[in-house]
Amino acid sequence: MTYKNFIGGEWVDSATAKVFEKTNPADTSEVVGEFQDSNVQDVEHAVAAALRAYPSWRLTPAPKRGEILYRAAQLLMERKEDLAWQMTREMGKVLVEARGDVQEAIDMAYYMAGEGRRQFGQTTPSELPDKYCMTERVPIGVCALITPWNFPMAIPAWKCMPALICGNTVVMKPSPESPLSMYNFVEVLEEAGVPGGVVNFVASSSSSAGQALIAHPDVRAVSFTGSTEVGRQVAQTCAGTFKRLTLEMGGKNVILVMEDADLRLAIDGAIWGGFGTTGQRCTAASRVVVHKRVYKEFCKGFVERARSLKIGNGLDPSVEVGPLINRKQLNKVEEYVGIGKEEGASLLCGGEQPQGEAHARGWFYLPTIFGDCHPRMRIVQEEIFGPVVALIPCENLEEAIEIGNAVPYGLSSAIYTQDVNKAFHAMREMETGIFYVNASTIGAETHLPFGGVKQTGNGHREAAVAALEFYSEWKSIYVDFSGKLQRAQIDS
């Protein structure tokens, strides 16, 4: 099937008349579909459509906008199984995780639908008589939403739903590695009743369309999720025209395992954090710092569990680890495994592609664990985005926290301990935007802010009420009914 762009309420071909193929990463002989290979002209059309739709959508009462989002949530719920199946086929994550991805979109749609009746402002006394003071949220305008491939429906929903409920219009560009899930998402929004031009979808195999979208003078805000390197370029582009910008970038997340931890539970968390989505999450637990008293026992159990994981096509319900997204990512993982060996880390398991016919046509890699790692090793410092976990021994909690914080990123961290004092100490000291106690580094919920510090982000948060702060501006309003000139700070 050939899938079209969605611009101005219509499904249209690209101006290039070209398409690109998307294949199944678990079986590259299987073509998932053909998508429009859009260019700058398509971006121009999409932004123009969003700009035309903005005045009417801005004035649509927020509760009415919320009703549309509520209908979208219902449609997503009805189609959850089919949408999850298609997601696994296009980007590889196992089916149970794909269902969770769709569920995040459902949760965000329901949550933001409610925000249509909760965009509260403030009323406050004036310093002058016969005068009211109040605030209200107002939308920004056309928003560009650039999303990654690893959460191809959840992340578009994180960005799109708060943007729409605040009264903005959007142009969305998916990763070329997972355009089908965003296509399906936009199709649901159309069916739910989103007016033409309010949501626009442009697919492309290259970065040129995204660059044109970010730089477009009629785009007032940009939300980008991707690598830190690309995020830095996006920030520089937006700075020139003072666009509002939110960046969600890399992570090198850590689990701290203390001497009093429930090791069974800690190993469960490390397996889920390290190898869920084949390690291709910004919140993946790619580092585990373990107290020396329990280091050997933890390593033994962790390696045994990792070796037992079933690898294969995520559509098989018994499979626990799917493929990497493409050959480039597989090459990157192989390169870092080589770096780990050269650095002197102990390869405890994995470190190669699985053999056999079942894995011959996909981008599979065995869950890989390095032991006895030094905190300054590259495999400990740099984001790999694959099924590779580095184990680092430590003497005590203070050293564990020091190791945990000694990376450029600051998205998510976790501690396993039975000591409430240790938990609260780590909670305060870890330099991350998300923190877990006796749970892994992944599992964020839609009603809490999501985002990180340092090179992970630029200070904004996605999800929850925090997202409204990015997709709306505050307007302060003064109503003077005194019938005379009153000068604040002078006549008070």
Tell me which residue has tokens 């590779």: 388
- pLDDT tens profile 75-101: 999 999 999 999 999 999 999 999 999
Which class does domain 2-249+457-477 fall in? alpha beta
d(CA 166, CA 473): 9
Q: Which of 143, 165, 126, 130 is nearest to 476 (CA)?
A: 126
Give me the pLDDT at residue 302, please. Answer: 98
How far apart CA 19 and CA 3 sit, in angstroms, is 9
What are the beta bridge partners of residue 457?
A: 248
Is the model's pLDDT at 339 over the cut of 80? yes
Measured in Å, how far apart are the chain's first and last C-alpha atoms? 70
Q: Is the Cβ–Cβ distance between 139 and 215 less than 8 Å? A: no
| Residue % of the chain over a pLDDT of 70 | 100
pTM above 0.75? yes
Contacts (Cβ under 8 Å, ≥6 apart) of 47? 142, 171, 200, 213, 216, 218, 219
Q: What is the pLDDT of residues 233-248, one digit of tens each?
A: 999 999 999 999 999 9
pLDDT band at 420 (very low <50, low <70, confident <90, very high): very high
Instruction: Give the pLDDT confidence of 432-464 residue by residue, as tens digits.
Output: 999 999 999 999 999 999 999 999 999 999 999
pLDDT of residue 46: 98
Query: Quick one: 155 exposed, middle or buried, by C-beta within 10 A (0-12, 13-18, 19+)?
Result: buried
Residue 139 pLDDT: 98
CA distance 131 to 137: 20
CATH architecture of 254-437: 3-Layer(aba) Sandwich (3.40)
**Average pLDDT of the chain, as a whole number:** 97
Q: Compute the average pLDDT of residues 182-198.
A: 98
pLDDT over 90 for what percent of the chain? Answer: 99
Reported as a single tens digit per residue, the pLDDT across 379-389 is 999 999 999 99
From the centroid of its chain, how far is CA 334?
25
Give me the mean pLDDT over the 348-354 stretch.
98
Paired strand residues for 479: 132
What's the confidence (pLDDT) of residue 57? 98
User: 276: which DSSP letter?
Assistant: G
**Cα angle 467, 468, 471; round to 5:** 95
Average pLDDT over residues 22-42: 98
pLDDT range class, residue 208, cuts 50, 70, 90? very high
**Total residue length of the chain:** 492
- Mean local confidence (pLDDT), 406-435: 98
Per-residue model confidence as pLDDT tens digits over 106-159: 999 999 999 999 999 999 999 999 999 999 999 999 999 999 999 999 999 999
Give the type of residue at 225: T
Domain range annotation of the chain: 2-249+457-477, 254-437
Closest CA relative to residue 345, chosen from 310, 309, 384: 384
SS (H, E, C) 22-35: EEECCEEEEEEEEE
Q: What is the pLDDT of residue 248?
A: 96
Phi, psi of 110 (to 5 degrees): -65, -45
**Residue given tokens 């090459």 in the structure block:** 331
CA 266 – CA 301 distance, rounded (Å): 10
**pLDDT tier for residue 51 given thresholds of 50, 70 and 90:** very high
DSSP string, 433-463: SEEEESS-S----TTS-B--EETTBSS--BS
How far is the C-alpha of 11 from the C-alpha of 7, rounded, in Å? 7
User: E strands of 50-160, at which residues?
Assistant: 123-125, 131-139, 142-146
Out of 115, 248, 383, 462, which one is annotated catalytic?
248
Band of residue 404 on the pLDDT scale cut at 50, 70, 90: very high
Residue 187, pLDDT score:
98
What's the pLDDT band for 413 if we cut at 50, 70, 90? very high
Given the residues 166, 282, 299, 394, the one annotated as active site: 282
Cross-strand pairs, 480: 131
What mean pLDDT comes out for the span 61-70? 98
Q: Is 248 a catalytic residue?
A: yes
